[in-house]
Structure 1
Amino acid sequence: MFVTEAQERERRKAGGPVESAMPEIPWHKAPKAEARPPLSRAAIVDAGIRILDAEGLAGVTMRRVAQELGTGPASLYAHVSNKDELCELMLERISGEIPLPDRIDPARWKEQVLEVSLAAQRVFVQHRDITLVSLGSIPMGANQLRIAEFLFGLLIGAGVPEQVAAWALDGLGQLIDTDAYESSLYADRLPPGTDTEAYFGKVQDYFAQLPPDRFPLLSSRAATMVGGDGDQRFAFKIEVFLRGLETFIGT
């Protein structure tokens, strides 16, 4: 029974037995190495995010991305204009990882705002200092705008005046971006493998040893000063923001 090359490929896909490879015939020309996968914008963004996660935003250069893809920098410009555009595309892709509730629930508007904010902060923290791209820019991509659309509708549904709700989106974005960026700075400054609990224990000890005559409150309340983990502190910032926003309802 003869088996064509195509049939053999199908057999491999189906998990069937694979026949042993044949040696090359000595006088036949050696086959060329398989061509690289065609370059695309998606592949460039993927490479940029891999570099971002490993080295931070400073490591993302057109030359470095080209190196990651095994090509030259000039070939990237057929797909992205420059590093700024690449970083915007990376932010847009990463924003797509942020989950949203299934539906808007105005009766639970504060809980849902906190839920979305925490989800966004956690996603951004996983990607080092990507929020540097977001700070100072206006969300334009579909993945970013779906979050703005959800939050805007949630705030309006809760009775927040439209203009106040629009400005609130700005404030929430800044809270999320700056908190995530600060978290990335902590991660970069602490030596790899640092026990963060032990680190902040040392900070607490330092505060406790401050001269009481100069710092009576900080020295006597050292545990209070370092209390709470990152999520608790971030949730507190959002809660303060929402309590202020709540005063605009019905005005």
Structure 2
Amino acid sequence: MDTPYGNVPLPVWERPEPQPRSAPVPLSRATIATTAIRLADAHGLDGLSVRKLAKELGVGPMRLYDYVVNRSELLDLMVDAVYARIAEAARLPEADWRATVLTIARATREAALDHEWFVDLLGARPHLGPHALAVGESTAAALNQAPGVRDIDDLQRASGALSAYLVGALRREITERRTARSTGTDVSAWQTAHGPYLRRMLDTGRYPTIARLVVDGAHLDAEETFRRNLTTILDGVTES
């Protein structure tokens, strides 16, 4: 492929759609991404392959390579399609920078809960699709208005802290969901079974700080925990 980068193909978002073929099944990158997302939602990334995707679309595997050169590009399209949903939330007018960041973070969490495979691709290589960049721009622009952000170094630190929290929190929540589902564990039953053991250990007096967290701390659901911890991050941005 003749490109400005020699043998390296242009990013998938900058390449034009292939010319339509006289074939019974019309294709587009949007159709491919939507179908791939449906497969990944049902079977995870390990259950997604070009061959399975081609079968789902009713085409031969080689035809997909007109649209994506490899599996990595397919994942790029899928990720950016999820970011499109987050970008919609980011475009809604908010009162201030904090409200904007909270809205984007909530939309990211909702998208991750609907598409669990999405968290497996967070925190790896940068996401550079147009919708991912739009979300990044909205987030950075909002953080740039925080009282504690005075220069580019402050903005980088704030962005890094927020990103690290989002990736860690979402991966933990999704991992807990997957574990409960795969083992058939009921959280309430697990807590009931392990409660007596934990009380005996705390009664030894060797773990006073943990005892305070367990006995006196608030026991929140996943959504409220996410919100409260995110608020702590944003408070730090305000005061830095």
Amino acid at match of 1:83: R
Contiguous gaps of at least 5 residues in structure 2: 1-21
Counterpart AA for 2:174: S
Partner of 1:96: 84
State the Cα distance separating 1:211 from its structure 2 match.
5.5
How many equivalent pairs are there? Answer: 209
1:3-152, aligned counterparts within 5 Å?
A: 36-98=24-86, 99-100=89-90, 102-103=92-93, 105=95, 108-152=96-140
Give the Cα separation in 2 of the matches to 1:233 and 1:206: 23
Determine the structure 2 residue equivalent to 1:200. 187
1:158 shift after superposition: 2.6
Letter matched to residue 66 of structure 1: A
Instruction: Please state how far the C-alpha of 1:207 moved relative to its aligned partner.
Output: 4.2
Q: 1:206 to 1:153 in 2, by over 3 A?
A: same
Q: Report the counterpart of residue 247 of structure 1 in structure 2.
A: 239
After superposition, the Cα gap between the structure-2 partners of 1:200 and 1:225, relative to the gap in structure 1 and judged at 3 Å, is farther
Distance 1:222 1:200, change over 3 A: farther
SS at match of 2:85: coil
TM-score w.r.t. the length of structure 2 is: 0.75
Q: Distance in 2 between matches of 1:127 and 1:58?
A: 14
Deviation at 1:67, TM superposition (A): 1.4
Q: Percent identity?
A: 23
1:226 deviates by: 8.2
Single out whichever of 204-213 and 147-156 deviates more from structure 2. Answer: 204-213
Contiguous gaps of at least 5 residues in structure 1:
1-33
User: Shift of the alpha carbon at 1:229?
Assistant: 0.9
The Cα of 1:66 is off from its aligned counterpart by 1.1
* 2:153 corresponds to 1:166: no
TM score, norm. by length of structure 1: 0.72
The equivalent residue for 2:197 is 210
Pairwise CA RMSD of aligned residues? 2.7
Change in 2 beyond 3 A, CA 1:81/1:73 = same
1:229 aligns with 2:229: no
SS at match of 1:139: coil
- Deviation of 1:230 (Å): 1.0
Larger gyration radius, structure 1 or structure 2: 1
Look up the equivalent residue of 2:166 and give its one-letter code.
Answer: I
Distance 1:40 1:229, change over 3 A: same
Greater CA drift, 201-210 or 217-226: 217-226
Output the CA distance in 2 between the equivalents of 1:206 and 1:225: 20
